[in-house]
Each structure stands twice: as C-alpha cells, then as structure tokens.
Amino acid sequence: LELLEDSGCELVPFSPLHDEKLPEGISGLILGGGYPELYAGGLSQNESMRRDIRHMVKEGLPCLAECGGFMYLHKEMEGADGNRYPMADVIHGKVSRTPRLVRFGYIELIARGEGKLLKEGETIRGHEFHYFDSTDNGTGCTAVKPGRQRSWECMHTEGNLFAGFPHIHYHSNPSFAHRFVCCCTEWTRKG
C-alpha cells in the first residue's frame, strides 16, 4: 500500500459491511485479504454495496482483489457457518471450504497473456494461504512454486480486473503498481 501511495494514490478506506456504496470519486478499488467467510451473512445482506461494486467493476473501475477480496467478488460463497451466501457476482464462480490448506506457500505469477497490469511473460511474486477454493480461479497467470515443478492456472486479468487467491508482493515488480496507478488515472480522465 505504501508503494501505491508513493506512486501517487490516495487510499480511501471503506467498509463493504457497513457502507451502502463505494466512496464518491474513487478511481480504483482494492479488496484485500481477510476472512470474509466470518462475515458472509453481513456482506451478503449489504445488497447496495454488492450491487455498486458489481456495477463499477463491470464499467471498468480498476480493481485489485486478493484472497478474501477475490472470494467476495464471486457469485456465491460458503460462510463459516456452512450456509451459502450471494456475493458481488463479478466472478461467476462459487467459493467453498476445503478440508485442508489449498496451494499454500510462496509463488511466482507468470502472465499468460497481455494484460493491463502484467505484460505477457512478465512475473510478480506472492503467496497463497487459504482453506477455500473457487470453481473459477481464472486463467490469466500461471502460478509456479519456487524451486519446484508444481504450477497451476489462476488469476482473473480481464480488462482492469486483477483478482485471485494470491497475495501480491508489489515490490517484486514495481511496474505492476505503477500500471495500476495509470489505470486509475485513465479511469479518472474517462469519468
């Protein structure tokens, strides 16, 4: 977040649980990690926020979503109570609890195509730590475990969206953060 601030971003906090809509005049959206399954009922009940996020991301608002934020963007998510709840429906998959940690550890993401934030073949590092999985993890990047042969497809990289389970380490590719700021600037000019 400090790298984004150093690149010219003003971070504006908001609550998808308590606020009715996104803050006025924002130029981008960051949905960080956390444990949305613990708040699934409240997140689901805040229909106006879910609707606003769905509308703004589909309109092209630049959006970074990691792990818990990625889970929130799905059509449906299983809560910690075992019930299923409607979420923001930006990603048309479903998120469910798994019996163990899924794809745990450090990774390097390799862009599988030309995107707004990563160019084809470009890399950025991150890590995964989650007990949930999605029916639609995306195919925009290949995640590779360091020093190992294990890899898998992940990340939604369509348009101005960069969303998936990995927590991204922006300092491993500062151009990624710079490009996000550029996308936000373009959004502001467009609006």
Quick check: is 182 catalytic?
no
Residue 113 C-beta-side C-alpha neighbours within 13 Å: 12
Which of 67, 141, 154, 184 is labelled catalytic? 67
**Identity of residue 18:** H
Instruction: Output the six-digit token pair for 72.
Output: 């929130």
Phi, psi for residue 183 in degrees, rounded to 5: -60, -40
Question: Nearest-CA neighbor of 99 among 60, 135, 131, 77?
Answer: 131
Q: Where are the alpha helices (DSSP H) in the chain?
A: 2-6, 40-45, 47-59, 68-72, 174-190
- Cite the active site residues: 67
